[in-house]
Structure formats: structure tokens, C-alpha cells
Amino acid sequence: MNAACAEHIDYLMDDLVEETMTAPSLELIPDEERGKTKCNWCNQPAEYYFVFEYGLNEGE
């Protein structure tokens, strides 16, 4: 899972867009999951995760 703390959202978003050429959606991690999920940059508890919506076609 691609997740980030509030401090590192921009860094991870930039990396994901560069890697996939697609901007993901940003979702808030539910309270009950926050202590379990770590930030990809600093390993501190993450507050947000990124979701890619595959299968959507532009122009339809």
C-alpha cells in the first residue's frame, strides 16, 4: 500500500505520478487502521493512502 503521513504526502505523490504517469486519489486512513499503516518515506504512522482507479477510459 502506498501511504504517507501528512508531512510526506507531496513527496510520495510526486514519486507515484512520475512512476505511473497517473495521479492517484488521496484517501484518509480510517482511525482503526492508522497505527498499523506506516508512511513510505519515514515509517511513522500514515494518515493517508493513495488509490489508483484502473479501468477508467478518458473521453467516454
Burial class of residue 39, CB neighbours in 10 A (0-12, 13-18, 19+) = buried
Which phi and psi angles does 50 have, rounded to 5°?
A: -105, 135
The structure's pTM equals 0.75
In the chain, at which residue ranges do the beta strands (DSSP E only) sit?
3-4, 25-28, 48-51
End-to-end CA distance of the chain: 29
pLDDT digits (tens, 9 = 90+) for 5-51: 999 999 999 999 999 888 899 999 998 888 899 999 999 999 999 99
Rounded CA-CA distance 3/13 in Å is 10
Backbone region of residue 50 per phi and psi (left: phi > 0; alpha: psi in -120 to 50; beta: other values)? beta
